[in-house]
Amino acid sequence: MTVPRTAFLSKLSGEIGIGVAFVLEFILFAILSPYFFTPDNLLNVTLQASITAIIAAGMTFVILTGGIDLSVGSLVALAGIVTTAILKSDLPGPAALILALLGGIALGAFSGVFAGFFITRFNITPFIVTLATMTIWRGVAFVATDGRPIWELPEVFAFLGNGRLLAVPVPSLIMALTFIGSHVILTRTRFGRHVYAVGGNIEAAALAGIRTGRVLGKVYILSGALSAVSGILLASRMNSGQPGAGLGYELDVIAAVVVGGTSLSGGKGSVIGTFIGAMLIAVLRNGLNLMNIGSYVQQVVVGSVILLAVMVDRIRR
Amino acid sequence: MTVPPLLDMRGITRQYPGVLALSSVDFSLHAGEVHCLVGENGAGKSTLIKILSGALRMDAGTITVDGKVVQLSTPGDAQRLGIGVIYQDFKLVPHLTVAENILLGNEPLLGRTPIIDRKAMDLRAAGALRMLNEEIPTGTLVNDLSVAQRQIVEIAKALSRNVRILAMDEPTAPLTDRETETLFGVIRTLKTRGVGIIYISHRLEEIFEVGDRVTVLRDGTRVHTCAIADIDRRGLIRQMVGRELENEYPRIALKKGEEILRIENLRSDKLSPVNLSLCRGEILGLAGLVGAGRTELARVLFGADRKTGGKVFLGGEEISPSSPYEAIKAGIGLLTEDRNKFGLIMEMSVRENISLATLREILTGPFIDRGKDEAVAQRFIGELHIKPPDAEVKVETLSGGNRQKVVLARWLNSRARVLIFDEPTAGVDVGVKYEIYTLMNRLAQQGIGVIVISSDLPELLGICHRIAVMCEGQLTGIVEGMDATPEAVMTFATHRAHT
């Protein structure tokens, strides 16, 4: 009978459904590849997932309000360049490092202010506004560097992207902190509740006394700032600021959020879902690599899994 | 030999998880008959219609059309059998023309080409409208039509598909009195063409005006079916509620406190200077026809729309809210009309909806105190008898009356000094209406200034201490509750000051 099964599936909340898929995938690769279920490999997976996952945490806020932020990939590049450029300035070492990190993140936040301004003041759809900022920031990155990477950075900077604390890669730790923080903000603060309200029904939210413009502005600032964090980590890993870095990241990030069960129309979803979504895709890539499946075939598989995950989610509702 | 009824539904049963929505309900409909379906929110009216339209499957029962047993598994099945439903939210495409909408999915083609025959389409659309004696240019975009006209288009669309059984779910809710008259004309025309009509409405006077028979549902069972001529309003209410309501409108004596709200020469794009004053403990009605400026006045007071001049004093202090946020901070609350569109966040739980405007008060540091949040929700679920009594269900699963209670709870919790209710009882059944009136009385007794906007004149006359009447953005008169008669109010409501 179909009735009991759909009833059963509908009882699973969004995260559990995707969580089950993730566990199954995990077991499958553990059986297929002896190397998969080793601490080394698993830590490696979190490291590979971290760059897009951190951005996806911010993107979840944006998508929960019913918006989208296409500028994240370009911000990865531009924040990396700003940070590496400050590192190469004549400032004394420690000051340069702190200023470099703050500068990069401030740039990301500024981009959010900029996008939020056009979205709320002129009521332009987020898709268009961030499509524009995506193009602008990418252009600025190339203009500022003349299209050449920024090399020869102080060694201490490399620690952020390549170092380990208690065997755990630093980007993985930052990712974990980002998700814990995002989850707490979304589920336990007023701002988090307002994010869901604005995404669920923006008019009703405004009439309940929520300053919707501010909420929207904040989610783009958060998304921009977290993109910048990823940009800095990526620059550290590559030990250079690359104007072409992060190309197409916006799509990987949106995929993680959507696979995680967050609705593109807003109001519904969670960062836990996004985290599992990002991990599901990362584990898939890793497992396919271990099984020596070529990257062309991998694209077909990853695309199919995205479709499958969202389809299951639809049927469940 | 008797003719089988056009539609015969027998033993219709539908179980939702935990709830028996319909329990062995019988319902029949003859050609050319208007059979009204009444009952409190959640009585099972909508479920029955959904089953008839093929949108929902029944767990048990049989449906016969023209004496033949039919299967209604999909909306397509229902359409083929000539069953049409006019929902409250119309299923029209705003950026297509009237003709395109009427023949949507049914477009006449030029011979065997895939090209639409526009001439034939316009002709057929105009034909369907003519059957209703309605003149709407077929080339107009639906977006440019009034709500009433959209409804006519929706009916014409059903007619163009040879509908024989037409269900209407609260069709007059968005209409003005005159538009309602037009709709009744259309219904009479449909009757003469042999269409059987199932008519759902909370406005009992309409049922006595257009109905031939009435069936009362209560808690998923059919409690009464009879000819309209054989029952009166009181009897119908008793059947719906299952007990005698002593008085439809509980009115309390005015214990007038000091002035809480004073409006001086308030103007906006849609308001001519308005002067009004409200005391603590007073229930002030705002009457007028749709579009008279009542909602506009409420929105300006609430900071949702901009004022262009004038002053507002709350408790003696001038306020000038430029956003609902500021109005709420000052102490004004607004229960919007159309709670689904402007009041509630459907995806959110009852608890989250209730505390949405008052989160600041339940913070511990930067965090929402979950315990306080739940306590607030539980308190109002108990006080207002919200059903089901579960703070964690999403409001989208609640019936209309319970949704309204959730919005009420939000504002009761806000410690507003002036509360504006915009059409608080629209689409709400008699029992819940009574609870809402009692609640307003209690608020007034607590010293809150209450303003009620309503298109239901008997309701305003029944509960308000004073009624301010508006017409075309102007305040045209104030009627004291004791002297208030429908005539006095309607005179002001149709009064044009500048003519």
Adjacent-strand bridge partners of B196:
B165
The reply to whether A211 touches chain B by the CB within 8 Å rule is yes
Exposure string of A222-249, with b = 16+ CB inside 10 Å and e = fewer, is bbbbbbbbbbbbbbbbbbbbbbebbeeb
Residues A157 and A162: their CA atoms lie apart, in Å, by 9
Give pLDDT, residue B452. Answer: 95
pLDDT tops 90 at residue B13: yes
pLDDT tops 80 at residue A119: yes
**What is the 3-state composition of chain B as percent helix, strand, coil, each rounded to the nearest 5?**
35, 25, 40
Cβ separation A207–B304 shorter than 8 A: yes
**Residue B221 in contact with residue B47, Cβ under 8 Å?**
no
Question: How many C-beta neighbours within 10 Å does residue A218 have?
Answer: 18
Q: Which of B323, B341, B368 lies nearest to residue A203, judging by beta carbons? A: B341
Report pLDDT digits (tens) over B110-160.
Answer: 888 888 888 999 999 998 888 877 888 999 999 888 888 888 898 888 888
Q: In whole numbers, what is the pLDDT of chain B averaged over residues? A: 88
Q: Which of A189, A200, A203 lies nearest to residue B367, judging by beta carbons? A: A189
Q: What percent of chain B has pLDDT over 70?
A: 97
pLDDT tops 50 at residue B499: no
Give pLDDT, residue B491. Answer: 80
pLDDT tops 90 at residue B481: no
- Residues from chain A that touch B325, judged by Cβ atoms under 8 A, are 209-211
Half-sphere exposure for B365 (CA within 13 Å, toward CB): 3
**Residue B240 in contact with residue B207, Cβ under 8 Å?**
no
pLDDT tops 60 at residue A133: yes
User: pTM for the full model?
Assistant: 0.81
Give pLDDT, residue B246. Answer: 62
pLDDT, average across residues A271-287: 94
Q: Residue type for B264, please?
A: E
Report pLDDT digits (tens) over B36-47.
Answer: 998 877 788 888
Q: What is the pLDDT confidence band of residue A6, given thresholds at 50, 70 and 90?
A: very low
Give pLDDT, residue B473. Answer: 87
Q: Please tell me the distance in Å from A13's CA to the nearest CA on chain B.
A: 13
Report pLDDT digits (tens) over B413-448.
Answer: 888 999 999 999 887 878 888 889 999 999 999 899
Q: Please tell me the distance in Å from A268's CA to the nearest CA on chain B.
A: 7
Burial class (CB within 10 angstroms; exposed 0-12, middle 13-18, buried 19+) of B75: middle
User: Does B220 or A257 have the greater pLDDT score?
Assistant: A257
pLDDT, average across residues A260-276: 91
Report pLDDT digits (tens) over B188-224.
Answer: 999 998 999 999 987 888 899 999 999 999 888 899 9
The three-point CA angle B124-B164-B139 to 5° equals 25
Q: What is the pLDDT confidence band of residue B16, given thresholds at 50, 70 and 90?
A: confident
pLDDT, average across residues A61-88: 96
Give pLDDT, residue B18. Answer: 62
Question: How many C-beta neighbours within 10 Å does residue B282 have?
Answer: 24
Element (H, E) at A111: helix A93-121
Give pLDDT, residue A1. Answer: 32
Which of B328, B344, B350, B356 should one mutate to test binding to chain A, selecting the residue with the greatest count of A CBs within 10 A? B356
- Residues from chain B that touch A211, judged by Cβ atoms under 8 A, are 323, 325
Report pLDDT digits (tens) over A134-187.
Answer: 999 999 999 999 999 999 888 889 999 999 999 999 999 999 999 999 999 999
Q: Which of B324, B341, B352 lies nearest to residue A206, judging by beta carbons? A: B324
- Residues from chain B that touch A267, judged by Cβ atoms under 8 A, are 345, 347-348
Q: Which residue of A has its CA nearest to B395?
A: A200
The three-point CA angle B435-B440-B442 to 5° equals 95
Residues A190 and B226: their CA atoms lie apart, in Å, by 53
pLDDT tops 50 at residue A9: no
Half-sphere exposure for B464 (CA within 13 Å, toward CB): 30
Residues A165 and A152: their CA atoms lie apart, in Å, by 24
Residues A241 and A78: their CA atoms lie apart, in Å, by 8
Give pLDDT, residue B427. Answer: 76
Q: Which residue of A has its CA nearest to B362?
A: A190
Residues B280 and B227: their CA atoms lie apart, in Å, by 47
Residues B120 and B125: their CA atoms lie apart, in Å, by 8
CA neighbor of B188 nearest in space, from B172, B209, B219, B214: B209
The reply to whether A268 touches chain B by the CB within 8 Å rule is yes
How many residues does the structure list for chain A?
Answer: 317
Give pLDDT, residue A12. Answer: 46
Report pLDDT digits (tens) over B324-361.
Answer: 999 999 999 999 888 888 899 998 999 999 999 999 88
Q: Which residue of A has its CA nearest to B347?
A: A200
Q: Is the peptide bond before B388 cis (omega within 30 degrees of 0)?
A: yes
Q: Which residue of A has its CA nearest to B303?
A: A207
Instruction: Check residue B218 and report its DSSP letter.
Output: E
Q: What is the pLDDT confidence band of residue A3, given thresholds at 50, 70 and 90?
A: very low
Exposure string of B264-277, with b = 16+ CB inside 10 Å and e = fewer, is eebebebbbebebb
pLDDT, average across residues B453-458: 86
pLDDT tops 90 at residue A235: yes
- Residues from chain A that touch B364, judged by Cβ atoms under 8 A, are none
Give pLDDT, residue A7. Answer: 40
CA neighbor of B280 nearest in space, from B323, B226, B316: B316
pLDDT tops 50 at residue A2: no
Burial class (CB within 10 angstroms; exposed 0-12, middle 13-18, buried 19+) of B239: buried
Q: What is the pLDDT confidence band of residue A14, given thresholds at 50, 70 and 90?
A: low
Residues B444 and B465: their CA atoms lie apart, in Å, by 11
pLDDT tops 80 at residue B19: no
Give pLDDT, residue B109. Answer: 87
Q: Which residue of B has its CA nearest to A213?
A: B323
Give pLDDT, residue B3. Answer: 75
Q: Please tell me the distance in Å from A183's CA to the nearest CA on chain B.
A: 12
**Residue B394 in contact with residue B348, Cβ under 8 Å?**
yes
Q: Please tell me the distance in Å from B348's CA to the nearest CA on chain A.
A: 8
Question: How many C-beta neighbours within 10 Å does residue B374 have?
Answer: 15
Cβ separation B342–A189 shorter than 8 A: no
Give pLDDT, residue B39. Answer: 83
Give pLDDT, residue A316. Answer: 63
Report pLDDT digits (tens) over B220-267.
Answer: 889 999 999 999 888 888 888 776 666 778 877 777 889 999 999 999
- Helix then strand count (H, E) for chain B reads 16, 22
Instruction: Check residue B225 and report its DSSP letter.
Output: E
Q: What percent of chain B has pLDDT over 90?
A: 45
Residues B3 and B6: their CA atoms lie apart, in Å, by 9
Q: In whole numbers, what is the pLDDT of chain A averaged over residues? A: 90
- Grouping H, G, I as helix, E, B as strand and the rest as coil, residue B267 is strand
Check the CA dihedral B80-B81-B82-B86 and report its sign: negative
Range picked from A19-33, A119-133, B219-233, B286-300 for highest mean pLDDT: A119-133
**Residue B71 in contact with residue B77, Cβ under 8 Å?**
yes
Residues A58 and A51: their CA atoms lie apart, in Å, by 12
pLDDT, average across residues B172-200: 87
Residues B379 and B254: their CA atoms lie apart, in Å, by 28
- Residues from chain A that touch B327, judged by Cβ atoms under 8 A, are 209
Give pLDDT, residue B158. Answer: 85
pLDDT, average across residues B297-324: 93
Cβ separation B345–A7 shorter than 8 A: no
